[in-house]
Amino acid sequence: MDLNLWLAYTGIILVLIAIPGPSALISMSHGLRYGRSRALATVVGGVLAAMTLMACSALGLGAILAASTTAFTILKIVGACYLVWLGISSWRSKEQDTPAELEALAVMPGRFSLFRKGFMVGISNPKDLLFFAALFPNFIDTHAPQALQFVLLALTWMVLDCSIMFFYACAGRRFSSVFGNAKRMKMLNRSTGGIFIAAGTALAVSAK
């Protein structure tokens, strides 16, 4: 792959990944509530979801969804329902679940649980399949081995995605002292929940 083409791809996805979305929100939220170490599991889950969607797109699933309105709608509704459910769960979280109290009560969730949530949030939007299907052909040289180029593009995405989402998790952790009382934690839970509900609703009513 030409170096200038790779640099252009890197610059574009750097901006796209850095724009806050559901994955950034849950990474920041988990960083605030559970610390950087545990939030890393959330980040890894989200990155693995992106890699899964890329692989599915490369195998042609993105083209199938683009052609099948029914299949796309079903996956979209399932993803939207999950985001709404996640928002409701966050909205109803107990006020006393502040970072300090969670640590004191030793009720931190397991890393696999956080990994699963990160993965489910990342995989919940079928539009990403169409996005990857539209993005990659613009940076693939058809006159060179395409498999190696795809691996390079995917690895570049993985490194940037992991780095940026972990940055969000670290940023969330820095705010943990601000939300050290029940009232502020309740506000955070409801704000986070409202954003997830809005994201799920927007996904449900959106077109391709």
pLDDT, tens only, 94-127: 554 555 555 544 456 788 999 999 999 888 877 7
Each domain of the chain, given as residue ranges in start order, spans: 4-8+23-205
Residue 170 has pLDDT above 70, yes or no: yes
Residue 160 has pLDDT above 50, yes or no: yes
Structure tokens that stand for 54 in this block: 């890329």
Give the pLDDT of residue 78.
Answer: 75
The Cα–Cα gap between 89 and 82 comes to: 10
Q: How many other C-beta atoms lie within 10 A of the C-beta of residue 63?
A: 13
The Cα–Cα gap between 138 and 135 comes to: 6
Average pLDDT, the chain: 79
Residue 3 has pLDDT above 50, yes or no: yes
Give the pLDDT of residue 10.
Answer: 92
Give the pLDDT of residue 112.
Answer: 92
Q: What is the pTM of this model?
A: 0.76
| Averaged pLDDT, 191-204 | 75
Residue 91 has pLDDT above 60, yes or no: yes
The Cα–Cα gap between 157 and 11 comes to: 11
| Averaged pLDDT, 142-165 | 87
CA 36-90-34 angle, to 5 degrees, is 15
Give the pLDDT of residue 61.
Answer: 64
The distance in angstroms from the start CA to the end CA of the chain is 31
Q: Which residues contact 77 (CB under 8 A, 6 or more apart)?
A: 204
